[in-house]
Amino acid sequence: MTDVVDRPAGQAGRSAGRDQQPAGGTTAVDVAALGEQLLGKWADIRRHSRQLSGRPELHKTEGLTHTEHRKRAFGQLRYLVENGAVHRAFPASLGGSDDHGGNIAGFEELVTADPSLQIKAGVQWGLFGSAVLHLGTAEHHAKWLPGIMNMDIPGCFAMTETGHGSDVASIATTATFDPAAQEFVLNTPVRAAWKDYIGNAAIDGLGAVVFAQLVTNGVNHGVHAFYVDLRDPETKDFLPGIGGEDDGVKGGLNGIDNGRLHFSNVRIPRTNLLNRYGNVDADGTYTSPISSPGRRFFTMLGTLVQGRVSLDGAAVAASKLALKTAIQYATERRQFNASSHTEEEVLLDYQRHQRRLFTRLATTYAAGFAHEQLLQKFDDVFSGAHDTDEDRQDLETLAAALKPLSTWHALDTLQECREACGGAGFLIENRFASLRADLDVYVTFEGDNTVLLQLVAKRLLADYAKEFRSLDVGVLARYVVSQAAGAAVHRTGLRQVAQFMADTGSVQKAAIALRDEDTQRLLLTDRVQTMIAEVGGALKGTNRLPQQQAAALFNQHQHELIEAAQAHAELLQWEAFTEALANVNDPGTKRVLTWLRDLFGLSLIEKNLSWYLMNGRLSMQRGRTVGEYINRLLVKIRPHALDLVDAFGYGPEHVRAAIATGAERTRQDEARAYFRSQRADGKAPVDEKVLLAKQAAAKASRR
């Protein structure tokens, strides 16, 4: 029998699923067309990046010491430069192509080669280089970007401090202007102010963009970015006043030389201030095109949002790799002969196995479609096509909403796929354990996930309050009355009773209602709106309270706020999936993807079923049908599972998992042929259970 790996994409799913015919007998997935849709707007760039990522020169070599891995990863950066993979976002005048969306699309695909390589490249060009590009001016670009682009200046992005991670506004490093010398003096005044977890800081970094509190004429103007030379290019020793430590071995990403940096009266020229958004004149006068300190701070940080955007896409790519391996293996691995005395079942025919993998497959599709929208929004802002303050705020909020969900989902998917492959999944050669270790930190860097969701919640609250800012008292009163009436209906159970009466005697009717697109949208949207309205009501008037009381009241509702933000992000993913369906032309593909979208939506409803029941949004009768309909969807999706992961477009050179090569099918076929041969020539011993069953039947027939 031909191994799955040898068949063209699209054939594997239909062949492996031959024992289960697609619903209706004709439904099939156009794998090539779906794969093209999943590649998105920057398909050619993704293909180029995947072609590079498939080369052995860029692959992670398991078993290296962290020292060896670091050396390999550093060399791989030069390989990327030589193969034109990293300069797309830089100005055309310097050899780039001003393609911001394409740059991220290509960058996130590097995770399939080695997450350490991806993140080290992100430090060099996505953080260090981008900080000079977006926070600096033409003079800075001409001076430093060529060396950054060609790796003559390996560098660091020195923002995070031991004592302040996500709270960037409170960092303690200072840059105090000395007008007599025309220099800034950098200091890390306490141990907690040391720059920490900084990529390239332990060994490779020659320069750094250092974030510090800018102080001039006795006034602190807040966090700004400064270009600082760290090491002598010849000796690689730290320059005077600069010191550091190696962070050592980490839980993953050990190809990156993370380290700590500290500064003691380090003097840099006044012109090393990256002054696009804030400048200090020769006499120490501070000026900025943005008068509001708060808005200036968020504008400067907003230029660096691409880190969150790229992590969102890389997490989706890692989830795709895991599901490709686990679903491929599950169509070949056989375990237990539940429905036959002689033939064992393939794992993917078990309902629980389908639940484990298909629900995560549906979420991965949703996250992928949502990421494509985020990437488009990012490109619109950074290309200047749509670059208003509101556009930048929307981009920040969207990135802060999606990055937590995709990175948490990647860890969950890698773990579940590992377990679904049993002991084989635990072997490093099958990559689950390695990828999970490397992606673990994705949930806390470029913004801790919980903190990011809190930012989303605050934006939702602000938008909620804005709706009523211009309303007169009469309109607002009518809204409050309508809300109270709606709440009363839910609390008294009147809606439950009405829904139950409509559903009684017809489970099918209840299921049909839940699979309806408008019903799913209504349920998911209503939950977000209700949660925000409830918290908004609880926090009303907070701005008039003393600071301590206001903070305490906010803290009392922090959990509900973050839950609402997560519900909002899940709704965004569902909407992105639904919008993507409109772009599917092939009827069979559209039908299968609609089942997958429904599985995603109903899984969200099932996860939060207690909320829908307690708040009267679903009756008990209809609530019972959610799980039943999910199980029906699993059966429909089963014959198309391999096609759906084949459409991801990752070949053996990307997956690189021994259990996804078809080797398991070969083993299983050999075993089945062996036992069939034994039974055919009569040499197989009689199973005691079969013998006892025959004896019992014979005994019964004699009665």
Q: Which two tokens stand for residue 688?
A: 């005691």
Instruction: Determine contact, residues 156/128, Cβ cutoff 8 Å.
Output: yes
233 and 279 within one domain: yes
682 lies in the same domain as 626:
no
Would residue 390 count as lying in a domain?
no
- pLDDT bucket at 21, cuts 50 / 70 / 90: very low
> Do 478 and 529 share a domain, yes or no?
yes
Q: Is 446 annotated in the active site?
A: yes
Q: Note whether 595 and 683 are same-domain residues.
A: no
What span, in angstroms and rounded, lies between the C-alpha atoms of 171 and 160? Answer: 8
**Structural domain contains residue 36:** no
Same domain, 688 and 635: no
Q: What is the mean pLDDT of the chain?
A: 89
Tokens of 79: 């390989």
Same domain, 640 and 497: yes
- Residue 243 resides in a domain: yes
Q: Are 411 and 443 in contact (CB under 8 A)?
A: yes
The answer on 550 and 636 residing in a single domain is yes
User: Do 606 and 556 fall into the same domain?
Assistant: yes
Is 258 part of a structural domain of the chain? yes
- Is 218 among the domain residues? yes
- Domain hosting 522: range is 469-646
Domain-embedded: residue 334: no
Say if residue 180 is exposed, middle or buried (CB neighbours under 10 Å; 0-12, 13-18, 19+).
Answer: exposed
| pLDDT tier at 502, thresholds 50, 70, 90 | low
| Residue of 330, 576, 307, 349 whose CA lies nearest to 448 | 307
| Nearest alpha-carbon partner for 53 in 82, 76, 36 | 76
Contact 527, 617 (CB under 8 A): yes
HSE-CB at 281 with a 13 A cutoff on CA atoms is 5
We report the CATH number of the domain holding residue 523 as 1.20.140.10
Q: Are residues 639 and 679 in the same domain?
A: no
Q: What is the pTM of this model?
A: 0.90
Rounded-to-10 torsion of CA 302, 308, 309, 314: 160
Residue 178 forms beta bridges with which residues? 183
Indicate the residue among 302, 320, 355 that finishes a domain.
302
Q: Which of 173-182, 249-258, 377-386 bottoms out in mean pLDDT, i.e. has the lowest?
A: 377-386
Residue 113 CA to residue 624 CA, distance in Å, equals 44
More confident residue, 17 or 61: 61
Q: Is 691 found in the same domain as 595?
A: no
Number of domains in the chain: 3
E strand segments, 111-217: 155-158, 174-178, 183-187, 195-198, 207-216
Residue 509 is predicted with a pLDDT of 57
pLDDT at residue 467, rounded to an integer: 65
DSSP 665-676: HHHHHHHHHHHH
- Where b means 16+ CB within 10 Å and e means fewer, 555-569 reads eebeebbbbbbbbbb
**Which residue's structure tokens are 């007998």?**
25
pLDDT greater than 70 at residue 480: no
pLDDT grade for 466, boundaries at 50, 70 and 90: confident
Helices (H), 331-388: 351-383
SS3 state of residue 55: coil
Answer yes or no: is 7 within a domain. Answer: no
Among 277, 302, 327, where does a domain finish?
Answer: 302
Shared-domain flag, residues 679 and 564: no
Which has the closest alpha carbon to 435: 414, 421, 408? 414
When pLDDT is cut at 50, 70 and 90, the band that residue 20 belongs to is: very low
Query: At 224, is the secondary structure helix, strand, or coil?
Result: strand
CATH number of the CATH domain containing 230: 2.40.110.10
**401 in any annotated domain:** no
pLDDT tens-digit series, residues 626-637: 999 999 999 999
226 in the same domain as 254:
yes
Indicate which residue of 446, 563, 570, 664 is catalytic: 446
* pLDDT the model gives residue 165: 87
Q: Please give the Cα distance from 129 to 189 (Å, whole number).
A: 27
Of 284-293, 336-345, 547-556, where does mean pLDDT reach its minimum? 336-345
In 137-252, alpha helices (H): 138-149
